[in-house]
Amino acid sequence: MTDAIKIEDLITGTGKVAVKGALITTHYRGWLEDGREFDASYHRGKPFQTVLSSTKVIQGWFLGLQGMQVGGKRKLWVPASLAYGERQVGDMIPANSNLIFEIELLEVLTRDD
């Protein structure tokens, strides 16, 4: 895998656009390249909410979710350099892991709301 993120829109949303600094609400699943799921908000029974910022999420999410619209579902292939790099994360994500996410954008709140 290169150091570039790959983005595929599975469903194109029609709602508000995710922009840098917005509060976003998502449901997601994350896998390693070998197909092992390492995390999913669906299993917790509640969506994941965060600010779309380079300091709050991995670079792959920061870059890959900007421009996505509410109601959309997007698949991201994130190279290790835009994920956790040389850091191991817990027991599930080894160092230098390329990650795959499927993300459903549920809500976008901006400072103007």
Active site residues: 28, 38-39, 58, 84, 101
Beta strands in 15-54 (DSSP E): 23-32, 37-40, 48-51
H or E segment at 11? strand 6-11
